[in-house]
Amino acid sequence: MTDEKPITLSEIVPVVEAHSSDYHMDGDTISFTNEPIGIVEINAPGDGVFEDDIALLKEFAEQKQSKDMLLTELQRAKSMLTIQVVFMLEHDAIFEALDPLLDWLLANRAGLLVDEGGYFQNASGDLE
């Protein structure tokens, strides 16, 4: 996220739970139909994780047509919300289950969404 406004777990709990009674968030764990599907972690510069993750994302960005814009956005990042998938639904089902949170992030925070494989998206759509 390039947004100056920090994000907290307590802020995303109502977002996750408001979408459907199938969703629940306990601490940092998102559940869908009573199955844990992801663990949420929020990182910031200097925490020992942020810089390594940004470096990896920059490697992915180097392969994209939009690399200059992506590298600029990654350089401007102030924080990172990561969701570690812990229950393997089908690939599309994972994103469908996480869509309410991802849509909220795109609508309420500046920055990028990035799939671990290097798929980038911002509020305007997919970035190649």
pLDDT in tens, 36-75: 888 999 999 999 999 999 999 999 999 999 999 999 999 9
Distances (CA, A) of 92 to 39, 98, 102, 122, 125: 18, 10, 14, 19, 17
Tens of pLDDT, residue by residue over 104-118, are: 899 999 999 898 778
- Give the model confidence (pLDDT) of 78-128 as tens digits: 999 999 888 665 656 666 778 888 888 999 999 998 987 788 888 887 888
**Interatomic CA distance for residues 23 and 37, integer angstroms:** 10
Q: Is 0.85 topped by the overall pTM?
A: no
